[in-house]
Structure 1
Amino acid sequence: MSEAARRASWRDLVERRLPEAARPGWPVRLDHCFARILLDHACGGPWRDHVRPPAYATLPLDQLEAAIALGEAVLAGHADLALLNRRSLAWRGKVAAAAVPESLEDGDLILRRWRPEDTAPFAALNADAAVMAHFPRPRTEAESVAEAGRFDRRFVADGFGPWALAQGGRFIGCAGAMRILQPLPFPGGDRPGTTVELAWRLAREAWGRGFATRAARLALDDLAGRCGIRAVVAYTAAGNARSRAVMERLGMAPAGTFPHPAVPEGPLRDHVLYRLDCADREDAA
């Protein structure tokens, strides 16, 4: 389908299909409200902070596709519109955001909220071909700045997110959890907002020292204790033995494979899925 056709499809989705499908219990019924929710999620925050109006014409096509996919999930009953609306309103300061600690600590290893000075080392990490070997490509500096902002805004929307990771006062990466908000082809992944992903990404000089496992355990403790999140998933390209080893050290269980729809055809597309719930973790302790 051409780009013009996809942009027309977006307008039909928010201006006609979603308003016509509105049902009792939905928190919104008007076209601009559906557009607000879906565009905010495509941008990871209030959409007007990231793209000039009219969004149907100016939003990058990959973000527009993400907004369409989320809208289709709402129509199919696979996405919780009330949750999505609360997240959008939290970003806009219309509902109270959850209290979030400034940091979680394990000796000299600290998970903390993101700071402006994290941008440069995060961009360097994302530009390292070795770090990004199991991603489709390294990130540009602009993409890294945007990603760090999206990560930190997840704390506003959900009360948790990927933390900046520091060791001995030095930024070495990120680790934490986030709601999966785009449909993925595995059980639970097809229901955006329902499943929580555990993830980490460390600078190359921090590899092999157990930091990823320690940081993930800190994040899991916070998720279970403060946030009441009882189950998480993690996934990576099938050939990423380093990350798979961390998942297994955490007591996560293999749960099959899936083709990641955001990854082009090739050796990185097949992903392995791991799952963990509180009972599994207690048994593994």
Structure 2
Amino acid sequence: MNPADRRTHWRDLVERRLPEAVRPDWPVRLDHCFARILLDNACGGPWRDHTRPPAHATMPLGQLEIAIALGEAVLAGRADLALLNRRSLAWRGKIAAAPVPEALRDGDLTLRRWRPEDTAPFAALNADPAVMAHFPRPRTEAESAAEAGLCDRRFVADGFGPWALEHAGRFIGFAGPMRILRPLPFPGGDRPGTTVELAWRLAREAWGHGFATRAARLALADLAGRCRIRSVVAFTAVGNDRSRAVMERLGLRPAGTFPHPAVPEGPLRVHVLYRLDCADREEAA
């Protein structure tokens, strides 16, 4: 479909198809409520903070595609509309956000919420070709600022997210869990919102010190103990041996490969998937 057709598809989805399919367990039934929930989750916050109305005409097509995919998943019974609604309401201050620890610490390594002063070193990290070698391209300053904001807003929506990492008083990257909101082609990945990804990205000068493994292990313990989420996935481009080694040190197990839909055709598109289920690991111990 061309862009105009996709925007028409969006309007039909929220104005007709979802209201006609209302189920007793759905928290909303009006078209503007469906639009609010899907758009907020596609943007990672109140959608009017990201684009001007009307969203069907002004929202970047990539974000609108995420909202469409979420709506189609709701219709198919593969996405929890109540969960998506709670995330939207938390961002809008309509319900209380889950309490989040001020920080997690492991000796000289601190996992904390994001601060405005993290934006510049995060942009430098994302502009480093070595750090971004397994991504389609480095990030711009604007893209880095948007990503940092999204990382922190995940804590408001879910009570967990990718923590900012600090060592010796310096920001060195991030590590932590995040809900996958874009459908991905692997078992569980087709149920947006239900699968949690463990991710990290560190500045080049922080490599080789074990920070990623230590931070991810601390984040996993918090996720299991405080949030009661005990299963995660992690994935990366097949050739990213450094990240794959971290996954294996954490006890994640390979679970096949998949073509990442957000990555263009080429050597980076095929990703390897790893899984960790803490309950299974404890039973086997």
The TM tier, using the shorter chain, reads over 0.9
Name the CA distance, whole Å, in 1 between partners of 2:53 and 2:195: 32
Name the CA distance, whole Å, in 1 between partners of 2:189 and 2:131: 25
> What is the match of residue 131 of structure 2?
131
> What is the match of residue 58 of structure 1?
58
> What is the match of residue 72 of structure 2?
72
What is the one-letter code of the residue matched to 2:164? A
- Residue 33 of structure 1, CA deviation: 0.3
Deviations 1:99-148 (A, max 9, x none): 00111000110000000000000000011111011111111100000000
> What is the match of residue 47 of structure 1?
47
Name the CA distance, whole Å, in 1 between partners of 2:45 and 2:153: 7
> What is the match of residue 263 of structure 1?
263
Q: Secondary structure at the match of 2:244?
A: helix
Name the CA distance, whole Å, in 2 between partners of 1:144 and 1:188: 28
Name the CA distance, whole Å, in 1 between partners of 2:18 and 2:58: 21
Q: Secondary structure at the match of 1:67?
A: helix
Name the CA distance, whole Å, in 1 between partners of 2:277 and 2:81: 25
- Contact 1:251–1:280 (CA<8 Å) still a contact in 2? no
> What is the match of residue 203 of structure 2?
203
> What is the match of residue 120 of structure 1?
120
> What is the match of residue 88 of structure 2?
88
> What is the match of residue 110 of structure 2?
110
Q: Confirm or deny that 1:276 pairs with 2:276.
A: yes
Q: Secondary structure at the match of 2:209?
A: coil
Deviations 1:153-196 (A, max 9, x none): 00000000001001111000000000111111111101011111
Q: Secondary structure at the match of 1:175?
A: strand
Between the two proteins, what is the percent identity of the paired residues?
Answer: 86
- Contact 1:251–1:284 (CA<8 Å) still a contact in 2? no
Residue 92 to residue 237, structure 1, CA distance change in 2 (3 Å): same
CA RMSD in angstroms comes to: 1.1
Q: Confirm or deny that 1:28 pairs with 2:32.
A: no
Name the CA distance, whole Å, in 2 between partners of 1:25 and 1:282: 35
- Residue 280 of structure 1, CA deviation: 4.6
Q: Confirm or deny that 1:171 pairs with 2:171.
A: yes
- Contact 2:73–2:192 (CA<8 Å) still a contact in 1? yes
> What is the match of residue 184 of structure 2?
184
Name the CA distance, whole Å, in 2 between partners of 1:169 and 1:109: 9
Q: Secondary structure at the match of 1:16?
A: helix
Name the CA distance, whole Å, in 2 between partners of 1:234 and 1:119: 25
Q: Secondary structure at the match of 1:29?
A: coil
- Residue 281 of structure 1, CA deviation: 4.5
Where structure 1 has 5 or more consecutive residues not aligned to the other structure, the ranges are none
Figure out how many residues of one structure are paired with residues of the other and give that number.
285
TM-score, scaled to structure 1: 0.98
What is the one-letter code of the residue matched to 1:172? I
- Residue 278 of structure 1, CA deviation: 1.1
Name the CA distance, whole Å, in 1 between partners of 2:37 and 2:107: 40
Deviations 1:238-282 (A, max 9, x none): 000000000000011101110111111110010000011113544
What is the one-letter code of the residue matched to 1:219? A
Deviations 1:211-242 (A, max 9, x none): 00000001001001111011110000000000
Q: Secondary structure at the match of 2:263?
A: coil
What is the one-letter code of the residue matched to 1:109? L
Residue 160 to residue 188, structure 1, CA distance change in 2 (3 Å): same
Name the CA distance, whole Å, in 1 between partners of 2:126 and 2:173: 9
Name the CA distance, whole Å, in 1 between partners of 2:282 and 2:112: 25
Q: Secondary structure at the match of 2:143?
A: helix
> What is the match of residue 151 of structure 1?
151
- Residue 152 of structure 1, CA deviation: 0.3
Q: Secondary structure at the match of 1:258?
A: strand
- Residue 12 of structure 1, CA deviation: 0.7
- Residue 283 of structure 1, CA deviation: 7.0
> What is the match of residue 10 of structure 1?
10
Name the CA distance, whole Å, in 1 between partners of 2:148 and 2:140: 12
